Structure 1
Amino acid sequence: MNFKEQLDQQEIFARVGRIADQLGMETYVVGGYVRDLILNRPSKDIDFVCVGSGIQLAHAVAASFDKHVPLNVFKNFGTANIRLDDWDVEFVGARRESYRHDSRKPIVEDGTLQEDQERRDFTINALAICVNAARYGELIDPFDGLGDMKRKIIRTPTDPIITFSDDPLRMMRAIRFAAQLHFDIEPETFMAIVHDAHRIQIVSAERVIDELNKIIMTPKPSYGFKLLFVSKLLQEIFPEMVELQGVDSVGDKSHKDNFYHTLQVLDNVSQMSDNLWLRWAAILHDIAKPATKRFNPKVGWTFHGHEDRGARMVPGIFRRLKLPMDERMKYVQNLVRLHLRPIALVSDKVTDSAVRRLLFDAGDEVEDLMKLCRADITSKNNNKVQKFLANFDKVEAKMLEVEEKDHVRNFQPPVSGEEIMEIFGLPPSKAVGDLKEQIKEAILDGQIQNNKGEALDLLYKLAAHKGIQAKN
């Protein structure tokens, strides 16, 4: 099969081929770019493999342009990288690798193209297209990667036990590619993942979470999570989520399987948003249900307080998984803590005060909170789902009405602590904090409007009641 026409759409391929011929190097575009070209997926990363020095080839290619082309050389890895507009182009010499059982550091030696293809993770990533003039556009596919793409199969080019033993992260990558492409994993390859799942522990948490986040960002992430669960990888990397799985029954009373419910919520959120952290909030919204599960003979199974317990669990999970311990973690934590609050407002009798407090607590995250709550409505009874969603429409209308009137989102008290200290000649103290808090509560309860005039009137009354006199 010849891909000359496809390569001709980008000038870089003919240029690299021409320079490779001048240097006497066999050179190929390989890996993900070839895969995505065949699958008609967008790609901005191009990898070239040459039989020789990739660094030498990169220098020659960068020098061939009239303009300055940024060149980065990584001598320890034998690779070099150039940036061309929004293209990321990497050069490496063909190599073979071998590994010790207890190490992720490969022993790297120069090799042939076939040896380079053999060391790659999957057949769909082991294809190469020649860019030398004599064979320009020729596909080299020794492991039938093209056939696996047609069959929608993820398979290793050589023995999967060896492939995954060499680099256990490839087990995560197999599931990530299956989830991204919606392919199946070939049975022998999948059984090797099950066999070697425990070895993911020797891979750094940073590499693991990078693959997990890519799975989470697929159009239907539940598919990837089910593969992680069945392969036993999820038990190794995220045991708290595995604990959600299962149903307990006492008599005729049972609860839903919270693992599969969580996956449904995650899929629902993924249809609404590409926000990775909102998707993480979906994953963690019920994470504390196993810890709070109790059986009450009158009402059945309960999970009282799971939202607060879950919010307290979020920092520990983020820290262990090497997720960012910053505002993104706090965003997820806040959504987990608040995810039941809008459900409590689904009533015609909901008060303005309750809506104000939710708007105050959620701030700029209120829209994402409502997306999470809508996604959380899962039932086989479609009429029940539609009834709940209609009720949420009423809640959101009420939120708009209250916000327009009272302006409590990201609310800042109309009278600051500094002003209170200035008016009454007070030092920083609990008394100042108490006055400020009482003004806030009065606004949220609707006792006064959210404006400075009414806030100052109340401040003087509260201070007089406490025996605090103004300076003037």
Structure 2
Amino acid sequence: MNFKEQLIHYPILSTVVNAAEELGAEVYIIGGFVRDLILKRPSKDIDIVSVGSGIALAEQVAGQLGPDVQVSIFKNFGTAQIRQGDLEIEFVGARKESYRPDSRKPAVEDGTLQEDQNRRDFTINALGISLNKHSFGDLADPFNGLKDIRKRILRTPLEPGITFSDDPLRMMRAIRFASQLNFDIEPDTFDAIMAMKDRISIVSMERVSDELNKIILSQTPSYGFKLLYQSGLLAIIFPELVELQGVENIDGRGHKDNFYHTLQVLDNVSQHTDDLWLRWAAILHDIAKPATKKFDKKVGWSFHNHEEVGARMVPVIFRRMKQPLNEKMRFVKKLVRLHLRPIVLSKEDITDSAMRRLLVEAGEDIEDLMKLCRADITSKNPEKVKRYIHNFNIVEQKLKDLEERDKLRNFQPVITGEMIMETFGLKPTREVGIIKELVREAILEGIIPNELDAAHAFMVKEGQKMGLLVQ
């Protein structure tokens, strides 16, 4: 099979061909770019393998492209990189690898193209395309990767136990590719993942979480999570999520399986957003249900306060899983804490006061909160879902109307602590805080508008009730 026609859309490859000819090097594109070319998926990363020095080839290519082209050289890894527009081209020498049992860092030696393909994780990533003049565009496919792509199967080039023992991160990558590409994992390969799952513990959590985030960002992330669960990997890397699985029955009454409910909410959210952190909020919204689960003979199962307990769990989970402990984490924590509020409002008579409080607490994240809450409406009873969605639509419209009228997003009362101290001649004291809170509550309850004249008059009146004198 030849890909000459497809490669002409990438002019830089002609320069690589000429540079390789000048160096007398044997050169191939290999890996994900070839796979995506066959699958007709966009790809901006091109990995080029030279049987010889990848750095020398990169420098030769840069020399032909002109003085403005910069080469980034990574001598420790024997690689070099050139950027051309939105393309990122990485050059490396063909190599073979060997591993120690206690490490995923290989001993690397120069190798042949065949040895380089042997070390690849999956047959679909071991495909090569020739960039040599005499065979330009020819496919090098020693492991029938093209056939596996057509059958939509993930399989390792070598015996899977060896592949995963050598580099256990490949187990996560197998599930990530299955989730991203909607491929099946070949049975012997999946059996090896189950057998080797404990070796994931030698991989840094940063690397594991990077693969997990890519699974979360796939089109239907539940598929990846189900594979993680079935393989046993999920219990090792994310035990809190596994604890959601299962249904307990007492006196003939059971609760829903919160693991599969969570995956449904994640898929629902993913239909409407590519935001990784909103998807994380979907994953963690019910994470505290096992810790808060109780059974009462009168009311059945309850998970009281699981949103508050869950919000406190978010930083703990993010810290352990090496996720960012910045505004991204705070966003997820906020949505976990607030995720029940709009749904509760949809079941009750809605007061403007309750709406105002929700708008104030959610602030700029109100739209994302509503996406999460809408995704959280799941049931096997379609009439129940229809009723909830109808009520939820009413809540959403009322929130929009109230926001347009009262402009409560990023709400701050017009009366500040400094104004209270100046009005009553006070120093920073408890009374200042009490008056400030009274003004805030009056605005949220709709007793006064958030306007200076009305709020100032209310402040004076409340201060005088406390025996304070206007200065």
TM-score of the two chains, using structure 2 as the length reference: 0.98
Conservation of the 8 A alpha-carbon contact between 1:33 and 1:47: yes
Structure 1 residues 312-350: Cα deviation after superposition (integer angstroms, max 9, x where no partner)? 111100100011111111111111111111112115721
Q: Which runs of 4+ in 1 moved over 4 A?
A: none
What corresponds to 2:122 in structure 1? 122
Kindly state the Cα deviation for residue 426 of structure 1 after the two structures are TM-superposed. 2.5
SS at match of 2:271: helix
Question: SS of the counterpart of 2:49?
Answer: strand
Residue identity matched to 2:373: C
Further displaced range: 346-355 or 11-20? 346-355
Cα distance change of structure 1 residues 348 and 234 upon mapping to structure 2, 3 Å threshold? closer
Name the aligned partner's letter for residue 13 of structure 1.
L
Shift of 1:425: 3.0
Gaps spanning 5+ residues in structure 2: where?
none
Per mean C-alpha deviation after superposition, the further-off stretch among 380-389 and 173-182 is: 380-389
Could you tell me how far apart the structure 1 residues matched to 2:109 and 2:369 are? 53
Aligned to 2:459: 459
Q: Matched residue pairs, number?
A: 471
In the aligned structure 2, how far is the partner of 1:428 from the partner of 1:182? 62
Partner of 1:375: 375
Distance of 1:395 and 1:77 partners within structure 2: 56
Corresponding residue number in structure 2 for 1:113: 113
Q: Which residue of 2 aligns with 1:385?
A: 385
Query: Does the CA-based 8 Å contact 2:126-2:141 persist in structure 1?
Result: yes
Which residue identity does 1:7 align to in structure 2? L
Name the aligned partner's letter for residue 397 of structure 2: A
Which residue in 2 is equivalent to 1:32?
32
CA distances 1:408-455 after superposition (whole Å, capped 9, x unpaired): 221011111222223333223332222211111110111111111111
Q: Which amino acid aligns with 2:158?
A: T
Matched, 1:323 2:339: no
Q: Distance in 2 between matches of 1:347 and 1:168?
A: 48
**In structure 2, distance between residues paired with 1:300 and 1:315:** 31
Match of 1:444 in 2: 444
* Mapped contact 2:17–2:131 kept (Cα < 8 A): yes
SS at match of 2:157: coil
1:206 corresponds in structure 2 to 206
Partner of 2:224: 224
Q: What CA distance in whole angstroms lies between the structure 1 residues aligned with 2:94 and 2:347?
A: 67
Look up the match of 1:351. 351
| Distance in 2, Cα, partners of 1:251 & 1:465 | 56
Structure 1, unaligned stretches of length 5 or more? Answer: none
1:135-188 residue CA offsets vs partner (Å, 9 max, x unmatched): 100100000000000110000000111111111110000000000000000011
Alpha-carbon spacing, 1:348–1:292, altered in 2? closer, same or farther (3 Å)? closer
Alpha-carbon separation, structure 1, partners of 2:346 and 2:256? 22
Q: Which residue is equivalent to 1:19?
A: 19
Taking the aligned partners of 1:106 and 1:457, their CA distance within structure 2 comes to: 74
Q: CA deviation at 1:66?
A: 2.8
Q: Is the 8 Å Cα contact of residues 407 and 450 (structure 1) preserved in structure 2? A: no
Letter paired with 1:302: S
Q: Secondary structure at the match of 2:121?
A: coil
Task: Name the SS for the 1:345 alignment partner.
Answer: helix
Aligned to 1:134: 134
Aligned to 1:239: 239
1:71 Cα deviation from its structure 2 partner: 1.0
Give the 3-state SS of the residue equivalent to 1:50 in structure 2. strand
Q: How large is the Cα RMSD of the aligned pairs?
A: 1.0
Moved more, 247-256 or 59-68: 59-68
Which residue is equivalent to 2:79? 79
SS in 2 for 1:272: coil
Q: How far off its partner does 1:311 sit? A: 0.6
8 Å CA contact 2:95–2:112 kept in 1: the answer is yes
Q: Distance in 2 between matches of 1:470 and 1:280?
A: 51
2:396 paired residue number: 396
Residue 159 of structure 1 aligns with which residue? 159
Matched-pair contact (CA < 8 Å) for 1:16–1:61? yes
Whether the aligned pair in 1 keeps the contact of 2:15 and 2:65 (CA below 8 Å) is no
